[in-house]
Amino acid sequence: MAKQPKQPQNTDVVLGNQTEPPISSAILGGLEGLQQRFPHLDVVQKLAVMPSILELGEPGIDLLIAILHDDSIAIRSQAYQSLHHIDSEKAKSAISMGIPLKPGDTLYCVYEIPFGYDDETYYLCNSIPEATARVGDYTDIIEHSSSEEIDWESLDPEEFDALMEESEIPKLISQHLLRETAEETAELLHQQYILDRHTPNLFEFDWVRMIEFDMNAWCAANGLPLQQPEQDWWEMGHQLVEELKTQQQVELLSKLWKDTAGRLAVIQEQSVNHNCYFKVTRSL
Per-residue model confidence as pLDDT tens digits over 38-81: 888 999 999 999 988 888 889 999 999 999 999 999 999 999 99
Q: Which of 66, 96, 126 is the last residue of a domain?
A: 96
Q: CA nearest 250: which of 183, 191, 197?
A: 191
Q: How much is the pTM?
A: 0.79
Asked if the structure places residue 101 within a domain, the reply is: no
Say what the pLDDT of residue 174 is: 92
Domain boundary among 96, 131, 151: 96
Same domain, yes or no: 261 and 154: yes
Average pLDDT value for residue range 127-137: 73
Q: Which domain holds residue 252?
A: 106-271
Q: How far is CA 159 from CA 168, 197, 266, in A?
A: 14, 27, 29
Max distance between CA atoms of the chain, in angstroms, equals 100
Residue 254 lies in a domain: yes
Q: Is the same domain home to 92 and 111?
A: no
- What is the number of domains present in the chain? 2
Q: Are residues 65 and 118 in the same domain?
A: no
What pLDDT sits at residue 223? 92
Read off the pLDDT band of 24 (50, 70, 90): very low
Picking from 64, 96, 128, the residue at the C-terminal end of a domain is 96
Q: How far is CA 99 from CA 69, 198, 257, in A?
A: 9, 38, 36
Is residue 87 domain-shared with residue 149, that is, in the same domain?
Answer: no
Average pLDDT over residues 126-155: 69
Most confident range (mean pLDDT) of 1-10, 79-88, 122-131, 227-236 is: 79-88
Between CA 225 and CA 141 the distance in angstroms is 41
Selected residue with higher pLDDT from 225 and 253: 253
Q: Which residues contact 105 (CB under 8 A, 6 or more apart)?
A: 73, 177, 271, 272
DSSP assignment letter at 23: -
Tell me the per-residue pLDDT of 227-271, one tens digit each, with 9 for 90 and over: 776 678 888 888 899 999 999 999 999 999 999 999 999 999 999
Q: Is 126 in a helix, a strand, or coil? A: coil
